[in-house]
Copies of this chain bind each other. A is one copy, B any other.
Amino acid sequence: MNTTSTTFLVLDLAGTFAFALNGAWTAMRVARLDIVGVVTLGMLTALGGGFIRDTILDALPPATFADWRYLVVAAAGALVAFVSGRVADRLATPILVLDAAGLSLFAVSGALKGVGFEVGVVQAVILGVITAVGGGTLRDVLIRQIPTVLTSGLYAIPALIGALVVVGGTQLGVAALPAAIVGAALCLVIRMLGVHFGVNAPGPIGRDRGDVDP
């Protein structure tokens, strides 16, 4: 239980930093923003998924708000992105890796929190995915991009697999820490392979042969 708590906190803070940095960089590449916009979007990317997760779990105020460590780590990540400025234009690869890291860490930490609240197996897996994709989706809505989760080949599916491993593992009696490490590593690898090889999830029948929408 104590190990679970510590595992959860460390994963969650690491994911928070990765998403804050990545979220701020992504926003700076897409829209013309001042420091307030960059910090807002970085923090929203980092803290938004946990906010939705904790609302669903009735664990309000959300941990990502009540615990100052999340606020500090998220603000630090966003400020690092801001001061690195124009550099972001040349950082497509690090941005993708950081995003995959945040995705993996939040998928397993969100699923672990769901397990801790005993919400049911399916629900814990869904919570992991929501935690992983929620913050980036909120950011994309604010900067008027179609959210990555809807269009980008293998994005939600690695998160789903990572969350499944954690929930399945803990159900089978595996300790939280090894289950989380395996789940996060698997999510990260699948996500990066998907990016590298351009793998996509299947599209609707009759639409998967490259025909272009109007």
Contacts and interface: CB of A to CB of B under 8 A. Distances in A.
Contact of A55 (B41, B55, B151): B55
B156 A65 contact: no
Interface residues of A, number: 57
Interface string A28-54: 100111111110110000000001000
Contact of A38 (B38, B155, B200, B204): B204
B203 A66 contact: no
A76 interface: no
Contacts of A38: 204
Interface string A44-73: 000000010001111011100110100100
A171 interface: no
A31 B85 CA distance: 32
Contact of A35 (B41, B62, B126, B202): B202
A40 B156 contact: yes
Contacts of A33: 150-151, 203-204
Interface string A150-165: 1101011100000000
Interface of A: 28, 31-38, 40-41, 51, 55-58, 60-62, 65-66, 68, 71, 82-86, 88, 119-120, 122-123, 126, 137, 141-144, 146-147, 149-151, 153, 155-157, 200-207, 213
Leading 10 A-B pairs by shortest Cβ distance = A85-B205, A86-B206, A58-B60, A37-B150, A34-B201, A85-B204, A85-B206, A36-B156, A32-B213, A34-B203
